[in-house]
Structure 1
């Protein structure tokens, strides 16, 4: 292990998935508005030039022009923002209601068959908005429709069309109903999917909060136990030191060897307790240690081999240059937990593979044990889900999943193609690497 670094390392928070349902729904409204702009322009030109119904062309084309500016502004907001507020969705729908009202006012008011398009705005509001906002859209749409029944610019029909006004109204109503049906199916299903994703995201957050509360309780118990065990272990170390110098023991090589083994075991216990306290943040100073990835992983493998001399552990490193990272005990403990799980699952050979790409450090542990059962794979990473069939099992992988998640990474568990279990850790260098190196990437 290299010497401690002189400066405090900046740890970045885990990158949680953003609750961007509002942003996705605003993007859908922008798409719908593009369709409305294209439809309005096409309809105005067809009616004015193709059907010889004289419309106030310049005034009616102002509305889609303003809508284009509205969409451009909305897209600029979407690029800068992670999410969109409820008030912004309400104002966006309100703009569409007023734009539709303006177009209908200039083209026959309530006699225009496209007045039914108000239902699209009401339906979208029912899905996207809160109760008071939905009723606001309903009230504004109803008021606008009522106003259009008494105040509007009549259509300027040519004499040949005046006798077919009812037929034109029926055709326009049919086209409007088809448009409403298609738009509602296309956009309502997508918006409903966005809201379902949001609910699933909130459910994951609640589950993570429960798991983190469980970890906090476990950490408090482990820290308390580490403090309480420190005193008896120190007493044992003193007693074993005295035994080593007793004449009766020094004369017997077997007893000397056994005392040495007991001292090594006590030393190992003290090192484990020190690691627990460091993981809890109680023994970490302002200058945490740093090491390059290769030496850090080789030390973990060396220590694990020393504690498990009868089990083969191979370390394979990809042909990469590895940066210096903070040698945090929680990473060491996570990897050690994976190796211990492989041993307890009956493995006689373990292969630890380390590689990297531009942003991530990959650590895979593959063993030749019995692997994961289908039920275990479905619940992997949850507490007390274990294939070892003993009380308290399953906490190792649970802790690994949560440690990696808090560091902004992910864990994937599977069965290897040739048998055994495969657990892969993916850790971001933005969290692990030293500040000066991560900033320079």
Structure 2
């Protein structure tokens, strides 16, 4: 289990224990007053109030100690429960020992220990409460209460048992439901971490495959570029304008393939000879969209960049590929109409891509960002959005998708924190 999850869960459990102790303070105060003044049971009220004050002081100190979130160990939880047992034993010793019906509150401490502590520590707490119970039976003076159980609720002892039962049941429900919620939240965090680790492993495998393919493609692409260059100089091609135009188109496509291969190698950190060019956020997005628009066929393309104040950044091929991937998906779903809006919200870049296609199926929206979730129905599809979401998450951003309210397409929104994109002031220039 990650240390952060242990820290968070232990801290929350300690906070719940502190809250429960305040309830116990109130319960003890009411019970002592009721027994002493309402039922006229002779009790050393002054000493019992001193013990109650010690409980208040201990809980106040605990509240101050764990005011800010910090790691709470199993030993600290055991010591806290041990102090609770000791103060409960003192109260019981002053009020009848083992004959006090509230002696069953020891079970509450044991149950809390079973939920909060490790197995060995729980058995230590069982031994401690057992010794305290035995000590009360041997050394404490019993309460002068008649054991008249036959008269039911008319018996003060039965009344005490009933109050003890209600108090214990209420406190257990109060505590265990919150502890269970803490454990459930921890399990959800761990499940999310395991899912993320599996996805990142999947990305690493695909990255290795892409990097290997890029290396393998470099040689044949270079060979094709040389051959096409030779063709352009051959008299048979130079005398035919149509062939020259086709060769020029083939050369352009080869250059585009080589640029894609270079981008893959750069993203993998292998194209070290090419540094990231300095630019600004507005120029980076404008250039990206202009380049994408020049190589794709879209009927109506609406582009609105309302980023506002420009900021310096380093051109990032990974971010560029991520945005182009979203644009490619939108263009494939809606080749006749596409809209891109760029805005700034607080300290984040927000890029919304809207299309007029069929939209996302409900099951795909429910599993957004998982690999091989695609509405295109081809084998291996669905990796694009999966990679987009993981790149955004690595940068601390998010990717959301929804269908338009009028049912005429979908909107994919990329939100990236500017801190992960822009240059620090001492890096600028």
Judge same fold: TM > 0.5, yes or no. yes
Equivalent pair of 1:411/1:423 in contact (CA under 8 Å): yes
Distance 2:45 2:336 in 1: 82
Matches within 5 A, 1:34-433: 34-81=22-69, 83-152=71-140, 167-284=155-272, 288-318=276-306, 320-418=308-406, 419-433=408-422
Distance 1:261 1:17 in 2: 57
Deviates more, 1:55-64 or 1:361-370: 55-64
Distance 1:74 1:425 in 2: 44
Distance 1:66 1:396 in 2: 62
1:23 maps to 11
The alpha-carbon distance between structure 1 residues 199 and 360, as it changes in their structure 2 partners (threshold 3 A), is same
SS of 2:178 mapped into structure 1: helix
Deviation of 1:139 after TM superposition, in Å, equals: 1.8
Equivalent pair of 2:297/2:335 in contact (CA under 8 Å): no
Equivalent pair of 2:298/2:337 in contact (CA under 8 Å): no
Equivalent pair of 1:305/1:311 in contact (CA under 8 Å): no
Q: Deviations over 1:321-376 (max 9, x none)?
A: 35333432221111111111112224422222222333433222221111111121
Deviation of 1:223 after TM superposition, in Å, equals: 0.6
Distance 1:60 1:368 in 2: 76
The alpha-carbon distance between structure 1 residues 285 and 194, as it changes in their structure 2 partners (threshold 3 A), is farther
Equivalent pair of 2:298/2:331 in contact (CA under 8 Å): no
Deviates more, 1:205-214 or 1:144-153: 144-153
SS of 2:138 mapped into structure 1: coil
Deviation of 1:147 after TM superposition, in Å, equals: 1.5
SS of 1:393 mapped into structure 2: coil
Unmatched segments (≥5 aa) in structure 2: 146-151
RMSD between aligned residues: 2.8
Equivalent pair of 1:290/1:326 in contact (CA under 8 Å): yes
Tell me the number of residue pairs that the alignment of Structure 1 and Structure 2 aligns.
417
Deviation of 1:178 after TM superposition, in Å, equals: 0.7
Please, what TM-score do these two structures have when normalized by structure 1? 0.86
1:434 maps to 423
SS of 1:363 mapped into structure 2: strand
Distance 2:30 2:272 in 1: 69
The alpha-carbon distance between structure 1 residues 437 and 119, as it changes in their structure 2 partners (threshold 3 A), is farther
Equivalent pair of 2:93/2:140 in contact (CA under 8 Å): yes
Deviation of 1:275 after TM superposition, in Å, equals: 1.1
Q: Deviations over 1:239-294 (max 9, x none)?
A: 22222222332222222221221111111111111111111122257964443322
Equivalent pair of 2:98/2:142 in contact (CA under 8 Å): no
SS of 1:370 mapped into structure 2: coil
Equivalent pair of 2:372/2:381 in contact (CA under 8 Å): yes
Equivalent pair of 1:315/1:352 in contact (CA under 8 Å): yes
Equivalent pair of 1:366/1:423 in contact (CA under 8 Å): yes
Q: Deviations over 1:31-52 (max 9, x none)?
A: 1111112222333344445555
Equivalent pair of 2:5/2:186 in contact (CA under 8 Å): no
Distance 1:432 1:64 in 2: 57
Distance 2:84 2:252 in 1: 76
2:148 maps to none
Please, what TM-score do these two structures have when normalized by structure 2? 0.88
Distance 1:205 1:70 in 2: 37
Deviates more, 1:400-409 or 1:170-179: 400-409
